[in-house]
Chain A
Amino acid sequence: MEALYFNVSDGYLEGIVRGYKSAILNTTHYLNLTQCETLDDLKLQLSATDYGNFLANEPSPIAASTIHEKATQKLVDEFKYVRNNAMAPLSQFLDYLTYAYMIDNVILLITGTLHERDTNELLERCHPLGVFDTMPALCVATNVTELYETVMVETPLAPYFQKISVNDIDELNIEIIRNTLYKAYLEDFYDYCKRIGGVTGELMSEILEFEADRRTINITINSFDTELSRDDRAKLFPNLGKLYPEGHMKLARADCLDHVKAVVEVWVEYRPFFDTTLNSFGGAATSEAKTLDDRFFEYEVHLNKLTFQQQFHYAIFYAFLKLKEQEIRNILWIAECISQGQKEKINNYIAIF
């Protein structure tokens, strides 16, 4: 039935997003990009793609960061166009997508304040999708309660903040805050997608479960040899995903990479992550060893690509954002490789189509 009514309010935007999706660079484009000798070549090459002349008014020589900034700006513009034209419940869904960026920005600001960086400089580095009105005031707060009461209470992140158990802001606690927020966010978003149900629920839970599992694994690996106790570690795992709950119990006890590997290998989908000999998920087969992160990204791209196989659902909006983000990461990687003369590493991007 949802197929019947979907187009009434969201058909136009789905069309738009599918159009945006077809503008995502493909392997041929990447092949051309990697052949560039200078960033000006890259600019020329990008102007032949859907990016068009987004760099036309930038004086050469151009910096990799400028390319990144402009490309992000383009993505943000596209996303904002979709968001501004969206109706409920799609608008709510799209808002959920921005919460992740808000969390990142909040963490960035409080970390920066902790290290006494200049506020304006920090604000410039914030992701434009996660900007909210009261954000600059974050740097005033010195502890979590204050943070919550001064700023966060009126943001959509407020319920997530209530779940934070620590109060002082220091290096370790910031990580805890970040992960608690993210955990709360993922659980909330997951519930929300389940409530939407249908194809959206199906596809989004798949993606979010993977996201949760990835975080779980990352938290485990990153908490080796830190002050974080095992119980505290377990508290940071998002309560969803394929690893939940058995995997979580085992991962909470793990204390070296081999343990993690042994735990995760039980799940067939995740086995290749730790298998250094395999090249799966259709990524560009390079001889160089891939980092775990790369493999995660590859799998994420794979999942996101799958969403485009179905129609009348919201997951493509999520997928589009993530794929485009990956693309910008790729372009940045290639640009950095070119500007730093590291041509041998240039192929370590994650091809999308």
Chain B
Amino acid sequence: MPYSSLFRSEEMSLIQLYIPQETAQPTVAELGELGLIQFRDLNPDVNAFQRAFVKEIRRFDEMERHLRFFDAQLTKSDIPVRPLTGDIRNIHARSAQEIDDLEEKIIEHERRITQMNDSYETLQKQYLKLTEMKFVLQETRVFFDEATSRQDNIRNSFDEPTAPLLEQQDLEHGSESLVLHHLNLGFVTGVISRAKMQTFERILWRALRGNLYLKYVEIDEPITDPETDEVLEKNVFIIFAHGKELINKITKISESLGATLYPVDSDPNVRDNNSTEITSQIEARNSVLQNTYNVRRTELLKIAEDLNIWMTIIKKEKAIYHTMNLFNYDSGRKCLIAEGWCPSNDFDKINQALRNATDQSGSTVPSILNELRTTKEPPTFIRVNKFTVGFQEIVDAYGVAKYREVNPGLFTIITFPFLFAVMFGDFGHGMLVTAAALYLVIREKKFEKGISDEIFATFFSGRYIILLMGLFSIYTGLIYNDCFSLPLRFFPSGFQWHGNQTDAQQIGVYPIGIDPAWHGSDNFLIFTNSYKMKMSIILGVIQMSFGIVLTVYNYTYFKKRLSIWAEFIPQMLFMQCIFGYLVFTIILKWSINWNERDNNGELVHSAPPGLLNMLIYMFLQPGVVAEEDKLYPGQGFVQGTLLFIALICVPWMLLTKPFIMRRDHKKIRSQGYHNPQMDTTRVSTDEDNEYGGAVVAEEMFEVEEFDFGEIMIHQCIHTIEFCLGCISNTASYLRLWALSLAHAQLSSVLWDMTLKPTLGMSGVLGTIAFIIAFTLWFSLTVFILLLMEGLSAFLHALRLHWVEFNNKFYEGTGRKFQPFSFKLILKDDDH
């Protein structure tokens, strides 16, 4: 069997595997490395937690949780995890024993880390307390000093409303040092997080009706909360209040609001003693903390070495058991039965993998593979490489091809960059794009390893598309003779123009593309517009006709003879009679020399007729063409005939297929076949068909009831869509011209506005102006013309493929082949 091309997806087979239970795990591991089988779920009715291998999965989940814990710890301590090196194929568990060991190791590590974290945390908490205490002592000293010196003010604030002046004076005679005791002033000191300070103050004020004196100071050093590892900003506060009740209340409020209270002695000497004591304690704690930290770090470093390997092993194991959950047991529960899709070409590889697994595990019972016949629709598998994958993605984004359907991905490789380039045609811009893409392509090995930026990853994955887009843009740029909106003069111009004349003299033909002499001429736009517009139509009609031709490949492959002459032929005729004819007249008009004169110097032809009007009058006045509008003799008759053919095609498309299908159906019915019951094609080489293999039953093949009305409606929609689509799609291709025009104009405006004026300047000023203008011009070129315009051209090219081209032949109703592959699973997890 030949390997499939991009043209059609690979042939798939439904296979059944009998895997002896003891070798099941290594076998599935081997298949996972191979990545060629998409397993089917054989117990869809069984709940996730009732499946056979839930216990194992849960065990790995638990191990994964430990590993995530390590990972979190590592990030917290800023230790980088050693990246995986070498082939991930080599990283796998070889035996159940190894898994057990690993689990033990992980649990041991976790126990140690948790233990260390706990002690570290306790230490840190103590340390925190001490530091806070230190700050409290430090800051309160200031408060106390202030309080002693300003006792009058404090007292005033207490007594002001009621106290008679005389008494106040009396008090002022009292001993100053004893003021605090004298007023029976108690105080509370503590630390509270700065965010809560305001609330705290407000509540205290209200609760004590203002009978307090609160001072606070911000701690400059941020304090780390050992539990959450958050850095908190805290304030030291001291509250003076009057009476035991109030002090109690303050204590209660402070505690409930999360403040930590630190008792401070009112005697300054004791305070000083405390302060020195605490400083020494802090130092002692500091060294212990440092030690614990170091031990913990060494432990974590050890883990960082292996973490990724463990993670890979566990992910693989988990995937294996998840896959095994899809399998079925045979009657004796001796082996597992698996079913899945695989490419028919790869039987050998799968057999080899099965043999390897059996050999390695030293089992005597081999696994058995057999192919099942089925009526189910296989998944679509198209082999891609790094070059084609991007283009295939473009197609898949629209819809995955039906199994063995013609895949537009193949043609997209050329048509997509080409249509892009038609809109983006500029030699210089194309060069820049190509250079950028080439850089990505050449350095791809390096980039592949780690791209974190999402936008860059998008560009990187489309590097080959961009490369081709750039190359094609260079080509179309040559044809348009545009390089950053300026003409290129590789060859001498074919026109000669003497300054005082209005017309240029033609002396030759420019070898490639548009003659540079056109640039800057008054009628340049008129000329290029007409040229690009016609070119868009020609390209569009060719691409759409090609799409219609492709239906034939589908019809013959899927054995739908009827559709060829009931759909393909009328569609093709319709298309060619109207738009094919338009293309013909465009080329005809190009090939006539409208300036040709006869011997008498009279023009041979009348003024060139407008093709748009010609097309309109072809419908409005069939068969009649005014004499002055004629392109060729007999035009009226030809057009009339073409229109007649096109009109015939409409009922042809609409009616033939449904009626022929009905006739065939009736014939079958009259021969006595009713509701054909397809047999369930229960295939299994297993002898005991009661359970075991029989459980692997095929679902019944549903035969659709023949419903003429439905088919008719479907055909009707299809026909209308095609006929209207032909017209609107052709018009839609005019976007090629529109975008190309926009691109050319934008780049010429950019040139005229920035760089061009500075070219004439001279001297230092001119140089500076040139440098500024050049940066401006270049950055705008990159950002507006390359990125924005490029994106817009890309999207329009995408649309032309998805809508105008694909809807002619492509169904795109398939589902993608998703093999069980470790490579894919690990890649998914990374993102």
Contact = CB atoms under 8 A, between A and B. Distances in A.
The finding on whether chains A and B are genuine partners in a shared complex, rather than unrelated, reads yes
Interface of A: 32, 35-37, 40-41, 44-45, 48, 56-57, 59-60, 119, 133-134, 136-140, 146, 149-151, 153-154
Contacts of A59: 62, 65
Contacts of B196: 133
A56 B58 CA distance: 11
B206 interface: yes
Given A40-B58, A57-B65, A57-B68, A137 B49 contact: no
A44 B252 contact: no
B49 A44 contact: yes
B47 A32 contact: yes
B284 interface: no
A119 B54 CA distance: 43
Nearest to B58: A40
B203 A44 contact: no
Nearest to B198: A133
B194 to A, nearest CB: 14
A32 to B, nearest CB: 6
B26 to A, nearest CB: 26
Contact of A137 (B61, B62, B256): B256
A49 B249 CA distance: 49
B207 A150 contact: yes
B279 interface: no
Contacts of B65: 56-57, 59
A35 B68 CA distance: 30
A237 to B, nearest CB: 32
A153 B206 contact: yes
B68 A140 contact: no
A45 B46 CA distance: 12
B156 interface: no
**Shortest 8 CB-CB contacts between residues of A and residues of B:** A136-B256, A41-B49, A150-B207, A133-B199, A137-B203, A44-B49, A119-B256, A140-B252
Contacts of B50: 35
- Secondary structure at the B interface, as helix, strand, loop or mixed, is helix
A153 B202 CA distance: 11
B573 interface: no
B768 interface: no
29 contacts: A32-B47, A35-B47, A37-B49, A40-B49, A44-B49, A44-B54, A45-B49, A48-B48, A56-B65, A56-B68, A57-B65, A57-B68, A60-B58, A119-B256, A134-B199, A134-B202, A136-B258, A137-B203, A137-B207, A137-B256, A139-B256, A140-B249, A140-B252, A140-B256, A146-B207, A149-B206, A150-B203, A150-B207, A154-B202
A35 B255 CA distance: 46
A60 B199 contact: no
Contacts of A138: 256
Contacts of A134: 199, 202-203
B253 interface: yes
Most buried by B among A136, A139, A151: A136
B731 interface: no
A153 B205 CA distance: 13
B54 A140 contact: no
Interface in B190-205: 196, 199, 202-203
A140 B250 CA distance: 9
Interface of B: 47-50, 54, 58, 61-62, 65, 68-69, 196, 199, 202-203, 206-207, 249, 252-253, 255-258
B257 A137 contact: yes
A150 B61 CA distance: 50
A41 B50 CA distance: 9
B305 to A, nearest CB: 23
B209 to A, nearest CB: 9
Most buried by B among A136, A140, A150: A140
B206 A140 contact: no
- Secondary structure at the A interface, as helix, strand, loop or mixed, is helix
Most buried by A among B49, B50, B68: B49
Contacts of A133: 196, 199
A133 B196 CA distance: 8
A124 to B, nearest CB: 13
Given A137-B256, A150-B207, A151-B206, 16 more contacts: A32-B47, A37-B49, A44-B48, A45-B48, A48-B48, A59-B65, A133-B196, A134-B202, A136-B256, A136-B258, A137-B203, A137-B253, A137-B257, A140-B253, A149-B207, A150-B206
A36 B252 CA distance: 47
Nearest to A153: B206
Contacts of B207: 137, 140, 146, 149-150
B468 to A, nearest CB: 40
A146 to B, nearest CB: 8
Nearest to B72: A57
Nearest to A42: B49
B128 to A, nearest CB: 17
A41 B255 CA distance: 42
B439 to A, nearest CB: 40
A253 B213 CA distance: 54
Contact of A151 (B48, B62, B203, B258): B203
Contacts of A137: 203, 207, 253, 256-257
A342 to B, nearest CB: 19
Contacts of A48: 48
Contacts of B249: 140
B62 to A, nearest CB: 6
Nearest to B249: A140
Nearest to A31: B47
Contacts of A150: 203, 206-207
Nearest to A123: B256
Contacts of B203: 134, 137, 150-151
B255 A119 contact: yes
A109 B258 CA distance: 15
A45 B47 contact: yes
Nearest to B248: A140
A151 B252 CA distance: 14
Nearest to A48: B48
Contacts of B202: 134, 154
Given A137-B207, A140-B256, A149-B206, A44 B199 contact: no
Contacts of B255: 119
A311 B203 CA distance: 44
A149 B48 CA distance: 56
Nearest to A35: B47
Given A35-B47, A140-B249, A60 B62 contact: yes
Nearest to A109: B256
A33 B735 CA distance: 56
Nearest to B55: A40
Contacts of B58: 40, 44, 60
A140 B58 CA distance: 48
Contact of A36 (B49, B62, B253, B258): B49
Nearest to B65: A57
Contacts of A45: 47-49
B37 to A, nearest CB: 24
Contacts of A32: 47
A56 B207 CA distance: 45
A137 B255 CA distance: 9
Given A150-B207, A154-B202, A139 B49 contact: no
A133 B68 CA distance: 34
Contacts of B48: 44-45, 48
A293 B199 CA distance: 39
B204 to A, nearest CB: 9
A37 B49 CA distance: 9
Contacts of B68: 56-57
A119 B255 CA distance: 9
A32 B257 CA distance: 44
Contacts of A37: 49
Nearest to B57: A44
Nearest to B195: A133
A153 B206 CA distance: 10
Nearest to B255: A119
Nearest to A58: B65
